[in-house]
């Protein structure tokens, strides 16, 4: 009996290792963000690209050449610039990105689904790095649990559930989100003043030109892809939290809200100057929704008595989709 229990435990643990992250677009629990989402308040305004090889093992074949750097600026639209094996793109913005609740920006590539299995897709991956001075870059800790014994070819598919913090995890039209809070405390990085985002193509070879995740595992993605559009195909970088651009509409200028007490112990009172039909949403710093409540003509209160001490975000929305966000401290 003891041996059977150990075997079952190993099977369960193995299953958890094989697929433990958010799934592909269209599947429950996916963290993909549509390029048309109103969450985006800005897009990259400038991009420089350092192209690399069609096939890093055969430099004589030349370099990636599809698209140009301008195609990576502005909203996601399906037009891309290809980086090639280990190519690099550096993007900048009209004003810095800051660490808000949940994801702070998202990177778009042009992958596509497997017609026979909605969990699988053709994906070309990239590392994501950020900088607050344009000189020193810091990489999000990436994870790849995809098998590394058989090379994924240029007609093969990958399970997004085995990937984390790798750009290109989601199909075209949907951004892979990144949360700056994961890089909190790193010397030389101000997560509330991110001026540059750098995307570095994952080579994907498991036989000679290795690329590793943050735990030292080989990352396996389509290789070789000796075409003009080889490597990571960068579509756009969308911003969810930008200094000086909260994405809040004219509601905050036309309506005066009084939210008190803040810090709060057991409840928060919300008073609006005008009688509006408002909905309140309370989230934690990871953007997990903890409470949703309709307010009585803009004057009401919500209970926070059952929540742990810490930082929360209260979002108010009216019937027209206007929104206003307040950071709440719970004592």
φ/ψ bin of 67: left (φ > 0), alpha (ψ from -120 to 50), beta (otherwise): left
Q: Two tokens at 187? A: 């010397």
pLDDT band at 17 (very low <50, low <70, confident <90, very high): very low
Q: Is residue 145 part of a domain?
A: yes
> Do both 57 and 120 map to the same domain?
yes
3-state secondary structure 126-190: EEEEEECCCCCCEECCCEECCCCCCCCCCCCCEEHHHEECCECCCECCEEEEECHHHHCCCCCCC
319: pLDDT strictly greater than 90: no
Q: Is residue 307 part of a domain?
A: yes
> Do both 96 and 48 map to the same domain?
yes
Q: List, in order, residues 6 or more apart from 21 with CB less than 8 Å away.
A: 143, 145, 160, 161, 162, 163, 164
> Do both 292 and 184 map to the same domain?
no
- Interval 255-262 mean pLDDT: 74
- pLDDT 10s digits, 28-81: 999 999 999 888 989 999 999 999 999 999 999 999 999 999 999 999 999 999
> Do both 188 and 262 map to the same domain?
no
- pLDDT 10s digits, 138-195: 999 999 999 999 999 999 999 999 999 999 999 999 999 999 999 999 999 999 899 9
Q: Is residue 192 part of a domain?
A: yes
- Picking from 208, 239, 270, the residue at the C-terminal end of a domain is 239
Q: Two tokens at 34? A: 């549509």
> Do both 212 and 259 map to the same domain?
no
Residue 161's domain comprises 20-239
> Do both 41 and 153 map to the same domain?
yes
> Do both 290 and 186 map to the same domain?
no
> Do both 115 and 179 map to the same domain?
yes
- pLDDT 10s digits, 236-248: 999 998 886 655 4
Per the structure, the count of domains in the chain is 2
- Picking from 183, 204, 239, the residue at the C-terminal end of a domain is 239
Closest by alpha carbon to 179, among 138, 140, 237? 140
> Do both 42 and 165 map to the same domain?
yes
Tell me if 169 sits within 8 A of 27, measured CB to CB. no
Tell me if 318 sits within 8 A of 251, measured CB to CB. yes
Q: Is residue 244 part of a domain?
A: no
Q: Is residue 10 part of a domain?
A: no
- Picking from 213, 239, 265, the residue at the C-terminal end of a domain is 239
CATH (domain of 272):
2.60.40.3080
> Do both 234 and 255 map to the same domain?
no
Q: List, in order, residues 6 or more apart from 8 with CB less than 8 Å away.
A: none
> Do both 85 and 30 map to the same domain?
yes
> Do both 150 and 55 map to the same domain?
yes
Sheet of 323-330: strand order equals 289-295, 278-284, 310-318, 323-330
């Amino acid at each position: 009996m003891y041996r059977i229990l150990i075997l079952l435990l190993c099977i369960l643990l193995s299953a958890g290792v094989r697929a433990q992250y958010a799934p592909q677009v269209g599947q429950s629990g996916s963290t993909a963000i549509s390029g048309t989402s109103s969450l985006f308040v800005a897009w990259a305004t400038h991009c420089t690209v350092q192209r690399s090889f069609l096939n890093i093992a055969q430099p004589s074949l030349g370099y990636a050449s599809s698209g140009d750097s301008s195609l990576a600026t502005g909203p996601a639209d399906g037009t891309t610039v290809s980086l090639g094996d280990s190519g690099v793109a550096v993007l900048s913005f009209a004003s810095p990105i800051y660490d808000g609740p949940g994801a702070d920006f998202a990177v778009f590539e042009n992958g596509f689904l497997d017609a026979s299995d909605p969990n699988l897709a053709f994906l070309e991956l990239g590392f994501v790095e950020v900088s607050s001075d344009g000189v020193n870059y810091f990489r999000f800790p990436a994870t790849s649990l995809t098998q590394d014994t058989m090379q994924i070819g240029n007609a093969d598919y990958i399970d997004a559930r085995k990937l984390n913090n790798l750009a290109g995890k989601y199909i075209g039209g949907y951004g892979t989100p990144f949360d700056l809070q994961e890089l909190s405390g790193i010397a030389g990085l101000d997560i509330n003043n991110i001026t540059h985002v750098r995307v570095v193509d994952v080579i994907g070879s498991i036989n000679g030109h290795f690329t590793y995740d943050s735990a030292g595992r080989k990352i396996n993605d389509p290789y070789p892809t000796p075409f003009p559009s080889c490597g990571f195909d960068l579509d756009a970088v969308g911003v969810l939290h930008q200094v000086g651009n909260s994405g809040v509409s004219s509601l905050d200028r036309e309506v005066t809200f009084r939210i008190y007490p803040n810090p709060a112990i057991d409840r928060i009172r919300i008073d609006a100057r005008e009688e509006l039909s408002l909905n309140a949403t309370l989230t934690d710093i990871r953007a997990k929704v903890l409470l949703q409540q309709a307010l009585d003509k803009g004057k009401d209160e919500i209970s926070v008595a059952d929540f742990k001490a810490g930082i929360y975000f209260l979002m108010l929305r009216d019937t027209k989709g206007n929104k206003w966000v307040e950071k709440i401290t719970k004592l």
